[in-house]
Chain A
Amino acid sequence: MTSLLTIEGLTKAYPGVVANDDVTFAIAPGEVHALLGENGAGKSTLVKMIYGLVRPDAGQMTLHRQPFSPSKPSEARARGVAMVFQHFSLFEALSVAENVALGMEDPPPQRQLARRIRDVSEAYGLPLDPDRLVGDLSAGERQRVEIIRCLLQDPKLLIMDEPTSVLTPQEVEVLFKTLRTLAAEGTAILYISHKLDEIRTLCDGATVLRLGRVVGSCNPREKSASELAEMMVGSALKPPARDGAEPGEIVLDVTGLSVKSANPFGTSLKNIHFTVRAGEVLGIGGVAGNGQDELLAALSGEARAVPEAVKFQGRPVGHLGPNERRVLGILSAPEERLGHAAAPDMSLTENALLTGAIREGLTRGGFLRWDAAEDFARRIVKEFDVRTPGVSNVARALSGGNLQKFVIGREVLQRPDVLVVNQPTWGVDASAAAAIRQALLDLAARGTAVICISQDLDELMEISDRFAALNGGRLTARRPAKGLTVEEIGMMMGGAHDMEPPAQTAPEVRHVEA
């Protein structure tokens, strides 16, 4: 078998860390090859070198048996390498056609391009309107824009960096079908992911990276998910354990909550109803951009509503701001770690003060109690195993997983009655994610009502008692998480609001068994 792309001894070091160390592998034409690894394993650096965004320090690549060392992305594109980015490289205020044109070397005139976009998108089963603003598209549609941008250049090698993290199961199906068609046409696909099931269904070969080195390669179809996970992490992971505590009283009661989004591309909340009981974990799924940020803001108090829309222990709190809600016991941790949940350039102590001041009594008469704040920060670091040289380090210096443990730990240690978290394990490596999930479950076991908004369905199924989905700013009815099938979840995420089981007619009674 002749290889399309071979990589030999590729090495790239940054100050203080070797991102890639002597990486070697090969991809054949028409092969779907997985690049597996935890966050920080060096997957992104490796593909950036293939795409010409980063120059390697040592090693060489060959493409079609010719030496290949792109110094910029346009060179890589000219040689037939295309890439779909993890964080979409799209421009929200520009139209689909304009976005596609920006990713091409010499695009045809707009009208002709619009027609080609329509043709190609229909040929591959990814319908797309070239005139729409990207800011108005869903995450799945945005990804189509990226894919079509690549397909229009007739690539020989397509690199996909975590393409499914924002898609519904149905959208994933469509994507996989497209990728298989492409592979059958001879296009090689380098598929980066840490979702093992996907890799096992889609990929022909896999290279596993850990800490910048290749630790193994295999045919993923012949391995079980846990074997792959062990290769990736280096040790076996244990799933979070939970005590089957009985849920208690209704703590948070949301009725008819409607909030207009503060962001012109955001989704406004429309008439949302739900209740959460003490000791219960409510998982809220949905594709990104369906009102998750807005729901968190409305529950944390960043966005105000009418008083009766949110009731805490029977008391209307919809009009209260975040600090007033914190006093009552409604705490939250938003999705964006740097800049929303934590101030990037402030120390961990200062960040601990920012949300802990009220409940932990870290201020007195308007003055800060530094020693108390430091103790609090140290306690978070200790109890949640945050790896940092000290609490005087700035938040920005922590890795994503460690900062996320800090952010979640900070709220958990304040003994909330209601905790709202959005994407608690987004971009966090597997062991940190497991620790965070365990912390949320422990918190619920102690009687806190936990609302977990997430796009990671596996996570939601693992920790939730009940599950609901956001779609276009509306929330579906809640259903017991146990026994939900992937198809049902997908339908809920796709907006099948009437998909309620008959049991939901007596909603609060049925719950206990879940």
Chain B
Amino acid sequence: MDLSAINPLVLIASLMVAATPILLAAIGELVVEKSGVLNLGVEGMMITGAICGFAIAVESSSPWLGLLAAAGGGALLALVFGVLTQFFLSNQVATGLALTLFGLGLSALLGQGYAGIKPPPSPRLDVPFLADLPVLGRVLFQHDYMVYISILIVACVWAVLKYTRAGLILRAVGESHDAAHALGYKVVRIRLMAIAFGGACAGLGGAYLSLIRVPQWTEGMTAGAGWIALAIVVFASWRPWGVLLGAYLFGGVTVLQLNLQAAGLELPVEYLSMAPYLITILVLVIMSADRGRAALNAPAALGKIFHASS
């Protein structure tokens, strides 16, 4: 085995790419859960976003239109969930699971005829000046646009939740929908907006896979990324920067195990493939070990059905 074949700088650069789809999906789900809704359909929304984005990008030869379509597709699918759970008061867990299955099937149907095609290349952003820095420039500042956009979304979500009235209302709705309703806030409308935002983010995450990271379309290509995103939200105790950390950790271990495989580590491949999931869960469990504090951050009305019965 030849460990010197692994370049730590390349590793860091590629972990940011590997983590971006999960980061996007997880930050969207964080907003949804902060509003008190548990949407387990992240995987379905991701894969739907992946094919919507891919198809539109191929047809229009514009990666930007593709990404827009991915966000739209994800949000649309999420709104199906929203209508079912918010208006028809269906069970959120069951509806979310159904959404995942539906999304996987729908994407396979839409994706017929798109397998094996190459999408238009996505533009890269070499951050001016910073990209020319020695070492750091190559690692941090020579990526595609979406890597930066995803970090920007995390920063925005954090700032909105912490400093704005809109964020306060969102948290309040997730904390106690009855109290929010009594004060006259439109619980259902606020939750639908959060659900749509979560779907759009998940769709973007999926499209990042099919348009930039892989880049091509294969059935079921999200391969459980949506579930990892869900787990990361919980273990990050619903903190935006915790989500970033969790996603990058998972991305890092994924990239590392691929590198170790390539370097010929004497360990069955199955163990290595398992490693990212195990290590991410382990680290996040340790981080959130202080249950009292973690429970404080959890939205108290998470997953509860709201019905205005005044």
- Could you list which residues of chain A lie within 8 angstroms of chain B, going by C-beta atoms? 48, 52-54, 72-74, 77, 85, 88-94, 98, 101-103, 107, 135, 264
Q: List 25 A-B contacts (CB under 8 A).
A: A54-B310, A73-B184, A77-B184, A85-B182, A89-B178, A89-B180, A89-B183, A90-B176, A91-B172, A91-B175, A91-B176, A91-B179, A91-B180, A92-B176, A93-B296, A93-B300, A94-B171, A94-B172, A98-B168, A98-B172, A101-B165, A102-B168, A102-B172, A102-B180, A264-B296
Q: Which residues of B contact A52 (CB under 8 A)?
A: 184
**Contact at A101–B184, with CB atoms within 8 Å?**
no
B143 CB → nearest A CB, Å: 36
**Contact at A93–B175, with CB atoms within 8 Å?**
yes
**Contact at A264–B295, with CB atoms within 8 Å?**
yes
B169 in the interface (beta carbon within 8 A): yes
Q: Which residue of A lies closest to B163 (CB)?
A: A110
A58–B306 alpha-carbon span in the complex (Å): 28
Contact partner of A264 (CB less than 8 A), chosen from B168, B175, B292, B310, is B292
Per-residue CB contact flags for chain B residues 119-141 toward chain A (1 = under 8 Å, else 0) read: 00000000000000000000000
Closest 4 CB pairs of A and B: A73-B184, A89-B179, A89-B182, A91-B175
A96 CB → nearest B CB, Å: 13
A476 CB → nearest B CB, Å: 28
Contact partner of A53 (CB less than 8 A), chosen from B172, B182, B300, is B182
- Helix, strand, loop or mixed for chain B's interface? helix
A74–B184 alpha-carbon span in the complex (Å): 6
Q: Which residues of B contact A48 (CB under 8 A)?
A: 310
**Contact at B182–A94, with CB atoms within 8 Å?**
no
**Contact at B295–A102, with CB atoms within 8 Å?**
no
**Contact at B183–A103, with CB atoms within 8 Å?**
yes
B75 CB → nearest A CB, Å: 27
Decide: A73 near B183, CB < 8 A? Known: A91-B176, A102-B168, A102-B169: yes
Q: Which residues of A contact B292 (CB under 8 A)?
A: 264
- Could you list which residues of chain B lie within 8 angstroms of chain A, going by C-beta atoms? 165, 168-169, 171-172, 175-176, 178-180, 182-185, 292, 295-297, 300, 310
B308 CB → nearest A CB, Å: 9
B56 CB → nearest A CB, Å: 40
B8 CB → nearest A CB, Å: 41
Q: Which residue of B lies closest to A77 (CB)?
A: B184
A192 CB → nearest B CB, Å: 15
A88–B178 alpha-carbon span in the complex (Å): 10
A48–B310 alpha-carbon span in the complex (Å): 8
Q: Which residues of A contact B172 (CB under 8 A)?
A: 91, 94, 98, 102
A489–B296 alpha-carbon span in the complex (Å): 34
Contact partner of B165 (CB less than 8 A), chosen from A53, A94, A107, is A107
A338 CB → nearest B CB, Å: 14
Q: Which residues of B contact A77 (CB under 8 A)?
A: 184
A477 CB → nearest B CB, Å: 32
Q: Which residue of B lies closest to A72 (CB)?
A: B184
Decide: A102 near B300, CB < 8 A? Known: A53-B310, A91-B172, A91-B176: no
Q: Which residues of A contact B182 (CB under 8 A)?
A: 53, 73, 85, 89
**Contact at A101–B168, with CB atoms within 8 Å?**
yes
Q: Which residue of B lies closest to A110 (CB)?
A: B163
A274 CB → nearest B CB, Å: 29
B111 CB → nearest A CB, Å: 42
A72–B182 alpha-carbon span in the complex (Å): 10
Instruction: With a 10 A CB-CB cut-off, give which of A74, A77, A90, A93 has the most chain B CB atoms.
Output: A93
Q: Which residues of B contact A94 (CB under 8 A)?
A: 168, 171-172, 175
A146 CB → nearest B CB, Å: 10
A93–B171 alpha-carbon span in the complex (Å): 9
A94–B299 alpha-carbon span in the complex (Å): 11
Instruction: With a 10 A CB-CB cut-off, give which of A73, A101, A102 has the most chain B CB atoms.
Output: A102
B147 CB → nearest A CB, Å: 33
A129–B297 alpha-carbon span in the complex (Å): 21
B237 CB → nearest A CB, Å: 12
B78 CB → nearest A CB, Å: 25
A418–B240 alpha-carbon span in the complex (Å): 51
A98–B163 alpha-carbon span in the complex (Å): 11
B191 CB → nearest A CB, Å: 16
A511–B267 alpha-carbon span in the complex (Å): 76
A91–B184 alpha-carbon span in the complex (Å): 14
Q: Which residues of A contact B296 (CB under 8 A)?
A: 93, 135, 264
Q: Which residues of A contact B185 (CB under 8 A)?
A: 102
Q: Which residues of B contact A98 (CB under 8 A)?
A: 168, 172
A243–B292 alpha-carbon span in the complex (Å): 48
Q: Which residues of B contact A92 (CB under 8 A)?
A: 175-176, 300
A94–B169 alpha-carbon span in the complex (Å): 11
- Given A89-B182, A94-B175, 9 more pairs with CB closer than 8 A: A48-B310, A53-B182, A93-B171, A93-B297, A93-B300, A98-B172, A107-B165, A135-B296, A264-B296
Q: Which residues of B contact A85 (CB under 8 A)?
A: 182
B301 CB → nearest A CB, Å: 10
